[in-house]
Amino acid sequence: MEFLQQLVNGLSLGALYALIAVGYTVVYGIVQLINFAHGEIFMIGGFGALAVWLLVPGESLSIWMLPIMLIGGMLAAVGVALLTERVAYRPLRNAPRLAPLITAIGVSIFLQEFVRLFFGRIPGFPDSKRAIPFPQIEYVTGEAFNIGGVTIQRAALFTLVALAICAGFLYVFVNKTRLGRAMQATSQDPDTARLMGINVDKIIMVAFALGAALAAVAGLAHGLRYTNIDFKMGFLAGLKAFTAAVLGGIGNINGAVVGGLVLGVVESMATFIPGQFGGSAWKDVWAFVLLILVLVFRPQGLLGARVVDRA
């Protein structure tokens, strides 16, 4: 029974990682950039959703606020992601690989500090220097479901359902639409894609926007699930999501989803390892042991990087 409970815990935690990991993988697949600021995009998604809720008068907890918050979070996350792409990454597109990587770390610190210092200064907004309680929307939060002794929290279920919908949407988008096929083409060979009449700049923007939109879903889910958000929540979540993307095979969208879920489950299951090396204290150790093993024996990740190697 505890095994099933930990499986549920792991899957719902992993779903959050997976939603963020997609952003790392999509951007890497197109521009070979590890966007370390993506964790902060996730954080901004959460703050955007909260801001919209604060701006709508009445402090309503009705379920109808959920889509409004989701759109607000997405607008904020996508807007910031496109802005960072335009201001910080595009000027460095032909620079050595290390330059955009360092820039990404700088952008990450900048966004954290920006939210920390300025979110709370908007009149009527709470102090952002510490954790801010997140509105508990009806139906998606509240009393947990209990199925045969296994507790499933509503917000955890919301995260899993959101991941399923987003994964389905992504599959259709990448494989069935013109824009999606253009993305695949750009990822395989940007120069030839450009010769075929694909606007590569636009495709890169789409990749950033797509990742940011999913990160905003994760930001909202995080707020509902853990009932509070703070300016540095993107750091560790981003690190774990990056791990998930590498685990699944960076550049591979399906891999990001699988990698996220596997990472979440391993972290939860680590509590079963008996003795001194078991328990919750060692869960990150076991997660990274798994990552090292995968990288040693299958460097391309669990599902393998589908991108044509250009290095």
Residue 143 Cβ vs other proteins, minimum distance, rounded to whole Å = 8
Nearest to 144 by CA among 155, 158, 159: 155
CB 135 within 8 A of CB 65: yes
Closer residue to other proteins, CB minimum distance, 2 or 189: 2
Q: Which is nearer to other proteins, 81 or 253 (CB)?
A: 81
Residue 288 near residue 243 (C-beta atoms within 8 A): yes
Least Å distance, CB 95 to other proteins, is 8
Q: Is 150 in a helix, a strand, or coil?
A: strand
CB of 174 to other proteins, least distance (A): 29
Compare residues 35 and 268 and give the one whose CB is closer to other proteins: 268
Shortest Cβ 172–other proteins spacing (Å): 30
Q: Which is nearer to other proteins, 121 or 310 (CB)?
A: 121
| 304 backbone φψ class: left, alpha, beta (φ>0; ψ -120 to 50) | left
Rounded least distance, CB 93 to other proteins, Å: 9
Of 126 and 304, CB closest to other proteins: 126
Nearer residue to other proteins within complex by CB, 153 or 254 = 153
CA–CA distance, 276 with 216 (Å, rounded to integer): 38
**Residue 241, C-beta contacts closer than 8 angstroms, at least 6 positions apart:** 17, 18, 20, 21, 23, 24, 38, 39, 42, 260
Amino acid at 212: A
Which is nearer to other proteins, 196 or 236 (by Cβ)? 236
- Tell the smallest beta-carbon distance from residue 104 to other proteins (Å): 13
Could you tell me the smallest distance in angstroms from the CB atom of residue 158 to other proteins?
13
Placement of tokens 């959101």 in the chain: 162
- Alpha helices by DSSP H, listed for the chain, are 2-31, 38-55, 65-84, 98-118, 154-176, 178-188, 190-195, 200-226, 233-248, 253-269, 283-297
Binding site for other proteins (CB under 8 A): 2, 5-6, 9-10, 12-13, 87-88, 91-92, 94, 106, 110, 113-114, 116-117, 129-131, 133, 136, 144, 146, 151, 153, 222, 225-228, 230, 233, 235-237, 267-268, 270-271, 279-281, 283-284
DSSP character at residue 147: E
Take residue 140 and report the two structure tokens written for it: 């998606």
CB closer to other proteins out of 94 and 124 = 94
DSSP string, 256-285: HHHHHHHHHHHHHHGGGS-STT-SGGGHHH
Q: How far is the CB of 142 from other proteins (least distance, A)?
A: 9
